Amino acid sequence: MIRIHVLEGAALVWSAEDAREIRERFRLVGTLVGALARKPRQNARLGLPLQLLPEEARLLAELGAAVLVRGTETQPPAEGEEPTQAAEVEAYQRELEESYQEQQRLAGAERGALLAQLAERIAQGRARRREQRGETPDTVEDSGLLDSPFVLPRSSMMVQLPTARQRPGRVEQVDWTSPSPDWPHAGRPAHEARYRVFRELWGRGYYLSGGSKFGGDFLVYPGDPLRFHAHYIALCCPPGAPLPLRALVAAARLGTGVKKTLLLCSPGTGGALAFTSLQWSGLQ
């Protein structure tokens, strides 16, 4: 079950495995909004968490593939809550110590292997130096280097700064059908209209992503956005709302300028959705 954490109306996914499943199995793209662990100081490629559109999160919840949760440990606890922490702190310290011991062992083994590899060269170098200094060769001393116990300084220990929550925390499920402070989208007419369009287009096999960069509601791709350009800019028009010609021309021009087709989506007659595409053609 994929877990989607909601925070102030944003749907975040913190697990890389879940993100993979969402994309590969469910054809939902989302946006990465965190810093990439390998190279945080750039914006070309971002990392976890993955932020999903409200429509994407709702689709996953409706399909039963995901559950919306909210962390409950957000308020500073009362004074009496300290004792439960002590056990966790102890466990953490123990883990840290075990990791340290293991890392020391591994580092020692690595160093030992390296020294064994270069043992001959070290011995030769030693012998040469002793000859220069005029001493007698002493074979016992040679192996001394390998016997001294290796101590890894504590500060050289590697520590993980985890992205996703490590200690299981208390979470509670959020009902996506009713509005709440963390999930205010339920019931809003704009969201409902967008969701209908989203569901329909997704059902036809397209990949969808946010379209604000191109002045629309969604961008419609024929395949994974990693490898394909978008074909359509989908604009959701609420039924009965006036659509001034100026706005229509502006949207169509924008679409043409970026080589995409404008797709006007609106609930049509009989409950089905009607799609109208606009392409700028010449006079012929």
Partner 1 sequence: MEAELEPRAGRLFSPAELVATRTRDRKVPQHSHGQKDFIPDSSEEQAERLHRCREEHWQLLAEERVERLGSLVKAEWKPREGIVELKSPAGSIQLFYRDLPLSIQEAYETLLSQGTVSLLQYQVFSHLKRLGYIVLRFCPSAVPSQYERQLNLDSYCKSSGKRHHKRKRSSSPWLQDKKPKASGNPPEGEGTPEKASGSCGGPSHPASGGSCLSQMSKESDPASGEGESAQVPTDAVQLSKPPSRSQAQAGDYGKAAGDSCSCTHLPRWDFTRIAFPNMASDCPHTFLPQPDERLLPENVAGREADATRWRKLVNQKREKLTRKEREQRERESRYKSSVNADREVRRCSNWQEYKELLKQRRQRRAGRRPSHLWDQPVTPLVKPDQVASAAAVLQQISVLQPSHILDGASRLQEDTEGMKIDFSVYQADAVANFKKNNPGKPYARMCVRRFDEQIPSLRAVKQLAYQSEDVPVVFALVDNGDIAFYSFKEFKLPVDIYN
For partner 1, the binding residue among 65, 119, 122, 171 (CB under 8 A) is: 171
Q: Which of 4, 15, 61, 266 binds partner 1 (CB under 8 A)?
A: 15
10 Å CB burial of residue 215 (0-12, 13-18, 19+) is middle
The verdict on whether 221 is a catalytic residue reads: yes
Of the candidate residues 80, 83, 149, 168, the single one contacting partner 1 (CB under 8 A) = 168
Q: Is 269 left (phi over 0), alpha (psi -120 to 50) or beta?
A: beta
Which residue lies nearer to partner 1 by CB, 14 or 275? Answer: 14
Q: Give the range of 20-28, 124-132, 237-245, 264-272 binding partner 1 by CB under 8 A.
A: 20-28
HSE-CB for 99 with a 13 A CA cutoff: 13
Structure tokens at 178: 């009713």
Contact between 89 and partner 1 by CB under 8 A: the answer reads yes
Q: Is 97 in the site for partner 1 (CB under 8 A)?
A: no
Kindly state the smallest distance separating residue 38's Cβ from partner 1, in Å: 6
Residue number, 178 or 212, with CB nearest to partner 1? 212
255 binds partner 1 (CB under 8 A): no
| Dihedrals phi, psi of 278, to nearest 5 degrees | -120, 130
Q: How far is the CB of 44 from partner 1 (least distance, A)?
A: 7
Contacts with partner 1, 213-232, as mask; x by CB under 8 A: x--------xxx-xxxx---
Do 237 and 266 meet the contact criterion of CB atoms below 8 Å apart?
Answer: yes
Q: What are phi and psi of 100, to 5 degrees?
A: -60, -45
Region for 251 from its dihedrals, namely left if φ exceeds 0, alpha if ψ lies in -120 to 50, beta otherwise: alpha
- Where in 28-87 is the site for partner 1 (CB under 8 A)? 30-45, 47-49, 51-54, 67, 69, 71, 73-74, 76, 82, 85
**Cα separation of 57 and 206, whole Å?**
17
Q: Assess 153 for contact with partner 1 (CB under 8 A).
A: yes
What value, to the nearest 5°, has the Cα angle with vertex 16 and ends 11 and 18? Answer: 60
Report the residue from 172, 240, 241, 245 that binds partner 1 according to the rule CB under 8 A: 172
Catalytic residue among 213, 221, 232, 259: 221
- Reply yes or no on whether 195 is catalytic: no
**Per-residue CA distances from 174 to 3, 19, 22, 51, 122 (Å):** 11, 20, 19, 17, 65
Give whichever of 169 and 257 is closer to partner 1, judged by the CB atom. 169
Q: What is residue 134's three-state secondary structure?
A: coil
Which x/- pattern over 107-126 shows residues binding partner 1 (rule: CB under 8 A)?
Answer: x--x----------------
C-beta of 204: minimal distance to partner 1 in Å? 14
Active site residues: 221, 229, 260
